[in-house]
Amino acid sequence: TEKYEKGLEKTRKTFSQRMNELFANFRTVDEDFFDELEEVLIGADVGFESTMEITDALRQEVKLKNAKASNEVQQVIIEKMVEIYEKGNTDKPEINLNAEGLTVILLVGVNGVGKTTTIGKMAHLYKQEGKKVMLAAGDTFRAGAIEQLHVWGERVGAEVVSGKAGGDPAAVVFDAIKEAKQQEADILFVDTAGRLQNKVNLMNELEKMKRIIEREIPGGPHEVLLVLDATTGQNAMNQAKEFKKATDVTGIVLTKLDGTAKGGIVLAIRKELDIPVKFVGLGESMDDLQLFDPNEYIYGLFS
């Protein structure tokens, strides 16, 4: 779609330009070619493991044919990338909604990755689908987080339940669920404090929130979405590994893809973390959130 094309412009420009250079002049697919291909893939944050898997597959394909760098060779690369992404991925790209009543979705992630913005965008998206949406200000730790959520709530027209700064986030969640049930809301998005530097607190806080949600809404939380900033590369990968240890992350929202030329990180996440990317952020406005579609995404990188 148009949104993908615009949001991935930086990645596309760099990546497809280098790919085109690599595939110019029908050069022979030799070791020099593989070296350069690896460099392009690693440079786009595809990750070491995925890069090796792609080039190994290509080596096998071209071995017997003494191939030239052609469209067919490029097609093998694309297909391998899609395959790496989709392997083991039986989950739908959509988010898990509670068919019986209130859906509760927790958003986790460190400060600055775009968590609040993502909650605003998601609220907007599901409101457009006719859902009644509410927000819970579960980040009581950071000064300004509650205020910021209220700003987004007003912008998209969703009620925000909040408590005191410094208060117990689990109490906010409890109040928010009660309110959401009373108002027969469809989806409650819960903001949380992403204190990775204090892992024990982070874990305790998330567990406590989850216990409350589980008790109040059977089957909840229906998603625990980790928000990662695509522009931070390896840092994002490390954050993901830490959060994976702290709680059961069910999906990833990858933000700021419009701000990086390294959109290949989607493959690295899939390969190394085995958590599906559910949404991608492609800009700062409330419309700039898209359900992630691996086919569209990967083909988009080459167009």
List binding-site positions for GTP. Answer: 109-116, 191-195, 255-258
Q: Considering the complex, what minimum distance in angstroms separates the CB of residue 301 from ligand GDP?
A: 17
User: Applying CB under 6 A, what is the total number of residues that bind ligand GDP?
Assistant: 17
Of the candidates 37, 28, 31, 30, the one whose C-alpha atom is nearest the C-alpha of residue 70 is 28
List, in order, residues 6 or more apart from 97 with CB less than 8 Å away: 103, 186, 187, 222
Q: Considering the complex, what minimum distance in angstroms separates the CB of residue 138 from ligand GDP?
A: 12
**Dihedrals phi, psi of 291, to nearest 5 degrees:** -60, 140
| Residue 6 or 199 having the CB closest to ligand GDP | 6
Query: Which region holds residue 213: left if phi is over 0, alpha if psi is between -120 and 50, else beta?
Result: alpha
By CB under 6 A, residue 117 contacts ligand GDP: yes
Q: Considering the complex, what minimum distance in angstroms separates the CB of residue 110 from ligand GDP?
A: 7
By CB under 6 A, residue 167 contacts ligand GDP: no
By CB under 6 A, residue 160 contacts ligand GDP: no
> Which range of residues in 29-37, 55-63, 175-183, 253-261 is near ligand GDP by CB under 6 A?
253-261
Contact 156, 124 (CB under 8 A): yes
- At 174, is the secondary structure helix, strand, or coil? helix
Q: Considering the complex, what minimum distance in angstroms separates the CB of residue 287 from ligand GDP?
A: 11
Q: Considering the complex, what minimum distance in angstroms separates the CB of residue 119 from ligand GDP?
A: 8
Rg (CA), the chain: 21
Contact 123, 189 (CB under 8 A): yes
By CB under 6 A, residue 255 contacts ligand GDP: yes
User: Which residues, listed in sequence order, are joined to residue 190 by a DSSP beta bridge?
Assistant: 106, 136
By CB under 6 A, residue 258 contacts ligand GDP: yes
> Which range of residues in 29-37, 71-79, 130-138, 251-259 is near ligand GDP by CB under 6 A?
251-259
By CB under 6 A, residue 114 contacts ligand GDP: yes
| Residue 62 or 227 having the CB closest to ligand GDP | 227
Of the candidates 25, 41, 39, the one whose C-alpha atom is nearest the C-alpha of residue 77 is 41
Query: Which region holds residue 144: left if phi is over 0, alpha if psi is between -120 and 50, else beta?
Result: left
> Which range of residues in 90-98, 108-116, 237-245, 263-271 is near ligand GDP by CB under 6 A?
108-116
What distance in Å separates the CA atoms of residue 125 and residue 146, rounded to the nearest whole number?
21
For residue 36, the number of C-alpha atoms closer than 13 Å in the C-beta half-sphere is 16
In the set 124, 210, 222, 256, which binds ligand GDP (CB under 6 A)?
256
Q: Interface with ligand GDP by CB under 6 A: which residues?
A: 109, 111-117, 255-256, 258-259, 281-284, 288
